[in-house]
Structure 1
Amino acid sequence: MALGGNPIFNGKNFRGATQAPRVPQAPYGQGQYGQQPYGQQAFGRAPGQVMDGQAGYAQQGMTTEQLQQMYNQPAAGPADTGRMTFDDVIVKTAACLGVLLVGAAVTMFVSMGLASMLMIVGALGGFVLAMVNTFKKQPSPALILAYAGLEGLFLGGLTRVLDTMYPGVGLQAVIGTLSVFAVTLVLFKSGKVRATPKAMRFFMIAMVGYALFSVVNLVMMLTGLTTEPFGLRSGVIGVAIGVLAIGLAAFSLVMDFTSIEAGVRNGAPQRFSWTAAFGLTVTLVWLYVEIIRLLAILRGDD
Structure 2
Amino acid sequence: MQSNNPVFRRSEEFSRSGANAYGNQTYAGNGANYQGYGSDPSTWGTGEPGSVETPARSGAPMTIDSVVQKTGISIGVVIVAAMATWILTPEITPASNADDLSPLIAALTIGSLGAFALSMVNSFKRVISPGLVIGFALLEGVALGALSKLFNVQFGEGVVQGAVIGTFAAFAGTLAAYKILNIKVGAKFRTFVVAAMFGMVALSLMELVLSMFGQSIGLFGFGGLGMLTAIAGLVLGVFMLILDFDFVEQGVANQIPERESWRAAFAMTVSLVWIYTNLLRLLAIFSQD
1:105 deviates by 1.2
SS at match of 1:15: helix
Structure 2 CA distance for partners of 1:127 and 1:216, relative to 1, 3 Å: closer
TM normalised by structure 1 equals 0.73
Matched residue count? 246
1:146 deviates by 1.4
Q: Which residue of 1 aligns with 2:284?
A: 296
SS at match of 1:195: coil
Aligned pairs for 1:104-183 within 5 A:
104-110=82-88, 111-112=90-91, 113-167=102-156, 168-183=158-173
1:293 deviates by 1.3
Q: Share of identical aligned residues, percent?
A: 35
Give the counterpart letter for 1:140 in structure 2: S
Q: 1:287 aligns with which of 258, 272, 275?
A: 275
1:209 deviates by 4.7
Aligned pairs for 1:26-175 within 5 A:
82-110=60-88, 111-112=90-91, 113-167=102-156, 168-175=158-165
Task: Kindly report the root-mean-square deviation, in angstroms, between the aligned alpha carbons of the 2 structures.
Answer: 2.9
Bigger CA radius of gyration = 1
Q: 1:268 aligns with which of 256, 261, 268?
A: 256
Structure 2 CA distance for partners of 1:209 and 1:16, relative to 1, 3 Å: closer
Contact 1:14 1:262 in 2 (8 A): no
SS at match of 1:139: coil
Contact 2:8 2:14 in 1 (8 A): no
Give the counterpart letter for 2:178 in structure 1: F
CA deviation string 1:148-198 (max 9, x = no partner) = 111110100000001110112111110111111111101111235332233
Contact 1:173 1:295 in 2 (8 A): yes
Q: Distance in 2 between matches of 1:234 and 1:26?
A: 62
Give the counterpart letter for 2:224 in structure 1: V
SS at match of 1:9: helix
1:299 deviates by 2.2
Give the counterpart letter for 1:125 in structure 2: G
Aligned pairs for 1:150-229 within 5 A:
150-167=139-156, 168-204=158-194, 206-207=196-197, 209-226=199-216
Contact 2:220 2:229 in 1 (8 A): no
Contact 2:4 2:190 in 1 (8 A): yes
Q: Distance in 2 between matches of 1:159 and 1:91?
A: 26
Structure 2 CA distance for partners of 1:207 and 1:94, relative to 1, 3 Å: closer
Gaps of 5+ in 2: 19-42, 49-57, 92-101
Contact 1:188 1:254 in 2 (8 A): yes
Q: Distance in 2 between matches of 1:16 and 1:137?
A: 13
Gaps of 5+ in 1: 28-79
CA deviation string 1:195-228 (max 9, x = no partner) = 22333344355445534543443333332224x9
1:266 deviates by 0.5
1:268 deviates by 0.3
